[in-house]
Amino acid sequence: MTRRYSAFSLLREGLSGQKGWEPAWRSPDPKPRYDVVIIGAGGHGLATAYYLAKNHGITNVAVIEKGWLGGGNTGRNTTVIRSNYFYPESVALYDLALRLYEGLSRDLNYNIMLSQRGMLNLVHFPADMEMAARLTNAMQINGVDAELLDRDQVRAMLPIYNYGPDARYPVAGGVLQPRGGIARHDAVAWGYARAASRAGVDIIQQCEVQDFIIEGGRCRGLHTTKGEIRADRVGMAVAGHSSVMAAKAGFSLPLISYALQACVSEPVKPILDCTVIAPGAATYASQSDKGELVVGGALDRVPSYGQRGNLPVLQGVVAGLIEMFPIFRQLKLMRQWAGIVDVAPDSSPIIGESPLPGLFLNCGWGTGGFKAIPAGGTLLAHLLATGQHHDISRPFDLDRFANGRLIDEAAGSGIAH
């Protein structure tokens, strides 16, 4: 069986009909007990399992998934990766993720196709350049690559933007993070799943958590549709369904679940290199390697678990896209979809022990969870392995809502997540 992925193994398998590849991951039945059980085989859950094994040597681990791995927001997002954040706490978190992403293909031996073609936040009006400078300086001081571009520099980089006299949102400049980019979202889930599975982690798909086993005021495991699974510590990374899980465990969370839509165009030849966001148009876009324009915008305004989008927001996003890029009026929308995102009041994640001892949280990523997967996994693994916060996750504990230390990026930078 061929285990390792490389050009050479691909060549060899090509000569023998691709018949020797081993499964990317095993599909075992659950054991009755594990050291750690993680609920949710999305990017964060799988990455947690991988880093438990890699960083802490803990391999007696199960990841429980209601559906199929990577099928939630990990497989529904617009694949943007960036760390252009304002507050040091956020930068520490998201740049940890970006640095791990930068080595992830080789680390996992799985090409996640990280394409660092730059993340460009446009600035529309001269007065807004002050806020852009504030963000650029914050990033630079926090040790993240950032460039403040003027109008001509943006124009050279993004010639297809709407620079016409009637443009509703003209360009005064921009903030560029050259290391920002996109990756292949499914590959991130599959790469972590494969690497975790090889390290001994059991990934249990089609297994729904029915309830928590709570004994002596502590979480001791789970009742699932595949039986009782006990564990010393339980991690939870279920994004939009975090409140539902929390209710089963007997507590509430400061979260609201919304549908976040995205859409792709029919694929066309390369026309857009970087990922670009126009705050005025409330729309952002990139072009995938397949050629599709991947486009997103604001949340649907109605709290929802519906996992499908509605027309008014989509119409606004599409109007935003072709206001940004009038040449895209030539194109058609090919597919729209939505994910359920759990939004915290400050739009920052919640990482830490839950009110139920023994149960640890990784949630509240809102619209930006994909870019943080390696960090979310690293930090939750640290918590599960040690019972203690990593320095980077401490500010994101649930206790910040009681003591008022919210980490609200929009508050400081004027740019929402």
Residues of span 204-263 touching other proteins by CB under 8 A? 205, 241, 243-244, 247, 252-257
Residue 110 contacts by C-beta under 8 Å, 6 or more apart in sequence? 5, 187, 190, 191, 194, 195
Structure tokens at 126: 């001269």
Among 94, 110, 284, 365, binds other proteins (CB under 8 A): 110
Nearer to other proteins, 137 or 388 (CB): 137
The closest of 391, 382, 372 to 97, measured between CA atoms, is 372
Binding of residue 363 to other proteins (CB under 8 A): no
Determine the interface stretch with other proteins among 13-21, 223-231, 368-376, 389-397 (rule: CB under 8 A).
13-21
Binding of residue 28 to other proteins (CB under 8 A): no
Among 30, 141, 156, 195, binds other proteins (CB under 8 A): 141
Residues of span 63-82 touching other proteins by CB under 8 A? 67-71, 75
Residue 91 backbone dihedrals phi, psi, to 5 degrees: -60, -45
Binding of residue 55 to other proteins (CB under 8 A): no
Q: Tell the smallest beta-carbon distance from residue 213 to other proteins (Å).
A: 22
Binding of residue 14 to other proteins (CB under 8 A): yes
Structure tokens at 22: 């081993």
- Alpha-carbon distance of 328 to 113, in angstroms, equals 25
Residues of span 383-402 touching other proteins by CB under 8 A? 401-402
Binding of residue 157 to other proteins (CB under 8 A): no
Binding of residue 26 to other proteins (CB under 8 A): yes
Binding of residue 153 to other proteins (CB under 8 A): no
Structure tokens at 261: 């839509």
Q: Tell the smallest beta-carbon distance from residue 120 to other proteins (Å).
A: 17
Antiparallel, parallel or unpaired: β 283-287 and 293-303: antiparallel
Among 33, 35, 60, 133, binds other proteins (CB under 8 A): 133
Antiparallel, parallel or unpaired: β 202-204 and 61-64: parallel
- Cβ-count burial of 155 within 10 angstroms (0-12 exposed, 13-18 middle, 19+ buried)? middle
Q: Which amino acid is at 45?
A: G
Binding of residue 298 to other proteins (CB under 8 A): no
Angle, vertex CA 349, rays to CA 368 and CA 400, nearest 5: 150
For other proteins (CB under 8 A), the number of binding residues is 131
Residue 236 backbone dihedrals phi, psi, to 5 degrees: -135, 120
Among 29, 57, 216, 332, binds other proteins (CB under 8 A): 332
Q: Tell the smallest beta-carbon distance from residue 230 to other proteins (Å).
A: 26
Among 60, 230, 279, 326, binds other proteins (CB under 8 A): 326
- Alpha-carbon distance of 234 to 264, in angstroms, equals 37
Structure tokens at 238: 């279920």
